Every structure is written in structure tokens, then in C-alpha cells.
Amino acid sequence: MPQTDAEKKRKFRSAKRMREIMTEYYIEAKTADQTGKKVAWITSGGPVEPLIAMDVIPVYPENYGAMIGASHMGGDLCAKAEALGYSTDLCSYARADIACALEDGGPIGGLPKPDMLVCCNNICGTVMKWYEIQARLFDVPLFIFDTPFCHVDFAEEARRYVRTQIDEYIGFLEGVCKKKFDFDRSMEVGRLSLKGQRLWQDVLDAAAHRPSPMTAFDAFFFLALIVTLRGTDKVVDFYTELLEEMKERVNQGISAVENERYRLLWDNLPVWYRLKWLSDTFAAHEACLVADTYTTAWCGSMKYIDENNFIDSMAEAYTRIYLNIGVDEMAKTIFAMIDKYEVDGLVMHSNRSCKPYSFGQYDIMRMVQEKKGIPCMMLESHMVDERSFSESQAATRIDAFMEVIRQRGPRAGTAL
């Protein structure tokens, strides 16, 4: 389809570079057995910096899950897992990954085989069983990094408990890699990790500008680096460039959504197989999803990191992430985002795959309506299993939600 000049202008030039980096990364991971590097599968919220410091290539089944979803392969793979006996109520990342591992299917011909598994339960409880299954399948060692739930505060006992596990984690890595852990190198990796997180936050903050130079759908795309390569200078270099591009867009008045009139906040993981449809549907209402709680989670706990003492402080940073805190704390994060990005409404994705994310959403919705007085809507689906998405129902809800917002009119300060 021919593009208009405005559409061409809206394309991110950094997208090409991002694809190159991700391709290089997956090639490196897939050829690790030839280069002698070790591969660790790790959960998306797991402490990756020690792996980088040990020259281990981290691979993320969850990032791969997003690829499966975006390639519309989730439904078939989930059905295969169900045929093996896994319940339809299970996380669709877990189902798709388990099915893929057994048959080398899926995008890029499957993930490289792991030499070890690192599972951190700060994102959910499902990962524990999921990684145990994979540890049995591949017959490789599994390290479980257990982060107690933080309803409000981070108790001293919790700090000691998590800190002890960092030593065990280092011991585990030394055992599998058969070499000593380099603490000086880990300091440098920690600094780069924090720098990357700061830059990612700055990129996301660009969306506070009216009109927003980016949408949450762009953030879902650009997120992959802070997840997979955090702690490397590649991330720092790339987000420095991306931030430059954001600033240029702001200066040139390039808006991500043509005639942005309404600004919305997204909660929960994306519906990976419906990104374009959702983006077009909201854009047709002149609505821009300017921010989301999901991509913010990869820079949301950097306030707990001590640059000069990364190893100690990461105990707290990895424990107090968005999915490991109480509903009241989550609501506070959402209130702050509503104010920061000046949004007119909240779109919640009740994601049947992700229980810790979806639990409490109705309570948060009520709190948002009481405290912030903005309309909220709920969409139900599984993030990767496209069989669970009902387009006509979703379309009616979005249309009705936008009608309600339009009746109220945009927030003060909107350029008309």
C-alpha cells in the first residue's frame, strides 16, 4: 500500500537498527554451541546482570513468546500444549514455549538449547513450574531466585533472604561456567544496566509531550532491548539514539497518531497478535495510547539501585518490581502515570494468561475512577493465544469507551 508523506514521517528510523541488533543477538545465541559460549534461559524479570558479567548469553522465552504471538503462531502452539495435557487456563507464553521446545517449531526455528535456567518468581508463580519442566526436558541445572511478595515495604528479613540468594546465584554460575565471578566486571555491567534503564525511562517520558511522538505500541516494540540486553553498552547506545529521535520528533511536531485528541494509558501485557488492529482502532478515534504500565516495569524499580553497589542493591530492585507489589502500590503507580502523561482514560487488558497482572484490576479501576475521575475500560484476552480474542466484542467496547470519552471532551490543555 502506498504511504503518504505524513505516514513516512511517522515511521521510526531507529526501528531498522533495532531489528538489526535483535537479529545479531539471536544469531549469536543460536550459534553459541560453535563459539563456545553458554546460553541461559531466564525469566523476563530475572537478574540478568550476573549472566552478562559471566559472558553467558541470556535468552528469554517470554520475549520469544511475544514473537510467537506477533507471528500468529500462538493458537496452534497452545493447542499442541493442551494436547500434551496442559490446561487452557495456563499462561499462553508457558504453553507456547513448552510446545515449541518439544518440536523445534515456532519463529526463528526455535530457541537455542539452554546450558542452564534462571527463574525469578518476581513476575509470577507459573514460571517455577514452567522452568522445572524445561529443566527436566533439557536436563540442565536450574537456579530459582525467590523474591518474597512486597505488599507495601521491603522488610529487613526479606532483604537478607534475597541478598543471600545473590551469593548462591553467583556460586551457581561459577559452577556451571567453571570460572570465577569477576566482581569488577559486574560493577561495570551494573552501571550500564542502570544507565540503560534511565535512558529507557527518558524515551518513555517523551510521550508526556503533546502530541505524543510515540505510542505504547512503539514502546512494546522498542522494549525488547532493555529486556534482553540490559547491562550491555549496545542498549545504552541504542536508547541514546532513540532518545535523540524522540527529541527530533518533538521539535518537529511529529505526532505518533494523526490529530491526537485523546490520550490513553494501557495496563497489562500487549495483545501481541492484535497490535496493528488495536493501534488502528484507537487511532481512528484520534486516540493515542501514550503510556503503559508494562514497558515502564523495566525501569520502575531503578530508584532502589545503588550505582556503586549494584550487587547488594539489586536484591531490593528485583524484589520490588511492579508485579511483586500490593494492589494499592500498583494503583499509586497508575495514578502517577495518569498525571504525568495527562491521560483521558485507562484501557485495561484483563489478560487470562497473566494472573498477577490481571488480579486486582477491577479494584484498581474503581480507585482510578474515584481518585482521578477518568473513564476506564476492560478488554479480555490471552496475550499470545489468539483463539481467545473476540474482535466484534472488542470493537464494540472500544467504540463505546471512546464515545464516553468524546462526550466528556478532552482534558484541559489539549490543542484543538
Partner 1 sequence: MKTAGIDIGSITAKAAILEDGVILGTRIGFTGYNAGLAGRKIFEDLTGELGMEASSLDRIVSTGYGRKSVEFAHKSMTEIICHGAGAHFLDPKVRTVVDVGGQDSKALILDASGKVTDFVMNDKCAAGTGRFLEVMARALEVNLDEFGEISLQSENPAKISSICTVFAESEVISLISRGEQRDNIIAGIHDSVASRVYAMAQRLAVNAPIMMTGGVARNIGVVRALEKRFGSPVEVNEYAQANGAIGAAVLACSLP
Residue ranges in contact with partner 1 by CB under 8 A? 362, 365-366, 369, 375-376, 378, 380, 388, 390, 392-393, 396-397, 399-400, 403-404, 407-408
Q: 147-183 in b/e burial notation, b at 16+ Cβ within 10 A?
A: bbebeeebeeebbeebeebbeebbebbeebbeeebee
The Cα 236–Cα 2 span in angstroms is: 34
**Torsion sign, CA atoms 154, 155, 159, 162:** negative
Which one-letter DSSP state was computed for residue 325?
A: B
List the beta bridge partners of residue 39.
57
Min separation Cβ 356 and partner 1, Å: 20
H helices, E strands: number in the chain: 20, 8
Q: 38 or 261, CB closer to partner 1? A: 261
Please say whether the beta carbons of 99 and 77 come within 8 A.
yes
Min separation Cβ 286 and partner 1, Å: 16
Q: 45 or 345, CB closer to partner 1? A: 345
The Cα 64–Cα 97 span in angstroms is: 8
Q: 198 or 397, CB closer to partner 1? A: 397
Min separation Cβ 396 and partner 1, Å: 5
Min separation Cβ 10 and partner 1, Å: 26
Min separation Cβ 40 and partner 1, Å: 38
The Cα 321–Cα 302 span in angstroms is: 9
Q: 212 or 388, CB closer to partner 1? A: 388
DSSP conformation letters of 131-195 = HHHHHHHHT--EEEE----BSSS--HHHHHHHHHHHHHHHHHHHHHHTS---HHHHHHHHHHHHH
The Cα 192–Cα 232 span in angstroms is: 6
Min separation Cβ 389 and partner 1, Å: 9
Min separation Cβ 193 and partner 1, Å: 40
Q: 22 or 374, CB closer to partner 1? A: 374
Q: 34 or 392, CB closer to partner 1? A: 392
Please say whether the beta carbons of 271 and 278 come within 8 A.
yes
Please tell me whether residue 378 adopts helix, strand or coil conformation.
strand
Min separation Cβ 359 and partner 1, Å: 15
**Torsion sign, CA atoms 249, 251, 254, 256:** positive
Cell readout for 234 is: 549496545
Q: 88 or 201, CB closer to partner 1? A: 88
Q: 160 or 366, CB closer to partner 1? A: 366
